[in-house]
Chain A
């Protein structure tokens, strides 16, 4: 009985001394200010632009503005030709370069070096992708399925039709290791004079070239109000992009950071060295029409 009493006393004491913590502040991760550099090159422009700034803390007092670095030295180097040009500093951490010694060439690799006033040096490399050519993009499969009626159930009395559409676009003559992305729309029409405009959203919008070929598949349905005549497609309009891995990572990062609380946070895909964040990437594009068949 003595033991029982001891146990009961212990339990009651524990209950008396319980805390009453609720949701509480906790120490955030230690913040380290990091340089942030952006530079996206394309042979379509004679000017190469860059920006240099610093990150700002996420926790603590919220600051409106970023700290821009106007006193960095930004140098572009052609690694194979062993020549370099230095960017001109504009205001607000913006830098500009009209290359003189450096010539942008397909499949050539360049190094961007950023010398910061604190003595740190950060580098990144980028390879200019092969020129994008709309002529390399072919429609290799197009199928418009049988339209079916969708009734309006809200009492409006109207109806519309859904036309299943499958499109496969194939980009050829691209070296492996580069990425391709078509941005196209289809233009279905019928003999009754109906014209539609259908954006093509591919299963994977950016794909890596393998064996010189990249295929993009689109399957959806487009609306029409009149099935008077079957739809046909004989051309697509838009542009096609080629890019290196750094540009592709940047593109994916910027569109995946949408704040969905159920998803894993997206890590910004950086290719700068020595603790800097940022992207030094390259891309090219071409615009035009793809005929089918």
Chain B
């Protein structure tokens, strides 16, 4: 009943705000449309989110992520000004007498210490700035800035930079898992060229799978979600790969402490089609292999990860473009031990593969479309084997997800200040949450492929972004449908954002979003690990739901400064967690050939609950000039309540963090010399720590009953107090980096020196109890912390040729 009511009201509001407004607005004077694409002049790549301003009416729009823009304006001559940070301003004079198609090529600004002056040329009061954007809780991260921020072992990492933004927290030391506004690491929709990436971690989360060299743009949305996004509760991280330079061959090679990388891009047919390939591999295993092999009889142990991105595109005509892109990445730990005539081998690996084919088509000057075919694959493999003359034992555990998706999105710009987006999407998920193969000798004694679960997730959405006086209004509505095991979930997801411009550089904003998530990540440790199990919502396990409201104020200042303050409240329902005592390792049926297939399956081991998070975020940013960077501060609370956890009482989430502060500074000391530093501070993670022992007299239910007697079966149990009631030490760290650039004959070389954890803070990674003997020879239990990374200096070399 509630669902139906929400559905009706959402649709009603969308139509009321958007289409009725369009209807009224159409009864005015004669109009013409100017439309086309905006390109980077040097590479020929299409540029999204570029501001297009029409004077004298001061009508502003922006290009979509495929570079398409369209403005329908009153008849008459107009000056069309195009502006994008880091690029020179460009303008064209348009007669405004007829519909016109135009491609605009804008030029990258040469990086000089004076380049910030160019920004000041922008027409005052009509910058596409933070105060001017209706969308709140959204941050675009310039890829170039990511490359200038110091990182662990010099490995530039998109997700680590996202962790420095307000409202986003990291899980633990070095982890790339992110927690947005109280949501878990599974509540973030990570999409790379439209394809979902399930596990974005390399090396247990110390690095992310996203190679910055292959990326064109990164966008984080943590609230006020556009209706085009669905399927996750807390954030969307939308990453777009570079299309490839269609003008000339360029590339980049980099050598770091633990890995090397390369990127090559260039035209297949100049101006028509291009390609981009980018790869990265760690080589610690290769470097240490000879030493390991030399020191024993052939036993070895190692680890590596690699990833590879590729993309190609073809401009069929000015109205049609084709893109195909893919990502392939893998992590692998391996051990081979030889002892006499026996051999022990183990493998532990996981990997993602994505493939996306897209077709951009422009139906008319006002209507643009993008159709996508998407494939995404994730697998986790644990293999253990012993081979000897007498016997052979092999065990393989696999968890696999395959997604096959289709999307069709439309971008319709019927009137000045109106951008209507609508579309449909559908994904066929094939989950294999766990499959075990055990072989003894040549025989397979167990081949238990836990039934593949097929689920179908679809969405249909419509949203209109329009301006009404000083209001920017952005209503949207999404209906999601999910089908599993014969059960259908149909959920309405209303979205609404609005801003009111108090002045041209000062706006107040508000947003509302309801989201549903049809997939859960079962985590036994509370931090994101590869052994965490992705499981679908089923007929017994409902999808998760969140409702988020946010309000804030944004102000732009001269000199490229901007400040935003946002408050939010988010509630979450139908979250799942392992019951007390359950874990991935306790699913005994995985290892016990005699255990029943469906006993102790994950559905029996989980419990459902609710959660809520609220807080305030402050973001002060300077994007341009010799000094750039930001200050991000979050004050927040995240609480959970599960009937079967913590005695049914409310407890803090592990990632509840009262204070989270990030300072990021990048200073261009000279044309060829950049210094950067980041400092982070976060309240310690909430953990469950032992507090005392209690005497327990057990009672065993058995075939032969006995009466409980407190004097029998004496033992002791641990009193953990309340769940997550103890705080680890606060986390803080300073990273510094220096980059030296030098122009060479065919390119630019960059030497980078950086220090992670520059003042060697012993940040806690985890706590453990340890028995020791004190001076009187008595046993003492102590609480200890393990610190992972001391100060880690690193050096890397990059050569970019063009």
Contacts and interface: CB of A to CB of B under 8 A. Distances in A.
B722 A7 contact: no
Contacts of B584: 262
A38 B696 contact: yes
B440 A21 contact: no
A36 B695 contact: yes
Interface in A17-40: 17-29, 31-34, 36, 38, 40
A131 B698 CA distance: 22
A31 B390 contact: no
A22 B721 contact: no
Given A153-B443, A251-B701, A26 B729 contact: yes
Contacts of B144: none
B599 interface: yes
Nearest to B740: A4
A264 B688 contact: yes
Contacts of B787: 21-24
B596 A25 contact: no
Given A3-B669, A260-B586, A220 B764 contact: no
A58 B767 CA distance: 14
B442 A219 contact: no
Given A25-B783, A60-B781, A262-B585, A267 B646 contact: yes
B90 interface: no
A56 B691 CA distance: 9
Contacts of A265: 580, 688, 690, 718, 720
Contacts of A61: 774, 778-780
Contact of A263 (B578, B717, B759): B578
A185 B702 CA distance: 10
Contacts of A258: 581
Interface stretch (B157-165, B470-478, B498-506, B703-711): B703-711
A58 B781 contact: yes
B784 A57 contact: no
A152 B645 CA distance: 45
Interface in A161-207: 162, 181, 183-185, 201-204
B526 interface: yes
Q: Per DSSP, are chain B's interface residues mostly helix, strand or loop, or mixed?
A: loop
A229 interface: no
Nearest to B753: A11
A59 B720 CA distance: 12
Contacts of B762: 19, 21-22, 24
B759 A219 contact: no
A153 B525 CA distance: 38
**Size category, B interface:** 35 or more
Contact of B710 (A26, A38, A202, A277): A38
A238 interface: yes
B669 A263 contact: no
Contact of A153 (B440, B709, B755, B767): B440
Contact of A38 (B594, B697, B774): B697
Interface stretch (A43-51, A108-116, A118-126): A43-51
Contacts of A23: 784-787
Interface string A250-276: 111111111010111111111000000
B58 interface: no
A263 B694 contact: no
B726 interface: yes
A40 B699 contact: yes
A254 B780 contact: no
A100 interface: no
A228 to B, nearest CB: 22
A57 B691 CA distance: 6
Contacts of B608: none
A51 B779 contact: no
Contacts of A260: 581, 583, 585-586
Contacts of A203: 596, 598-601, 604
Given A56-B692, A153-B443, A239-B702, A264 B526 contact: yes
Interface in B730-786: 736, 738, 755, 758-762, 764, 767, 769, 771, 774, 778-786
B508 interface: no
A26 B764 contact: yes
Contacts of B764: 26
A159 B425 CA distance: 54
A25 B782 contact: yes
B390 A154 contact: yes
B659 interface: no
B9 interface: no
Nearest to B675: A7
A201 B688 CA distance: 31
Interface in B650-671: 669-670
A94 interface: yes
B738 A7 contact: yes
B645 A267 contact: yes
A277 B719 contact: yes
A218 B597 CA distance: 10
A16 to B, nearest CB: 11
Nearest to B651: A267
Nearest to B669: A3
B322 interface: no
B723 interface: yes
B239 interface: no
The 6 closest A-B pairs by CB, nearest first: A256-B581, A153-B441, A219-B596, A21-B762, A263-B583, A55-B692
Interface of A: 3-4, 7, 11, 14-15, 17-29, 31-34, 36, 38, 40, 42, 44-45, 49-51, 53, 55-62, 66, 94, 150-151, 153-155, 162, 181, 183-185, 201-204, 217-221, 237-239, 241, 250-258, 260, 262-270, 277, 283, 285, 287
Given A27-B783, A239-B702, A264-B581, 6 more contacts: A4-B670, A22-B762, A29-B721, A34-B719, A55-B719, A265-B580
22 contacts: A7-B738, A14-B758, A18-B760, A29-B725, A31-B691, A34-B692, A40-B708, A58-B691, A59-B781, A61-B774, A162-B594, A181-B701, A204-B604, A219-B597, A220-B595, A238-B703, A255-B581, A263-B586, A267-B580, A267-B721, A268-B717, A270-B647
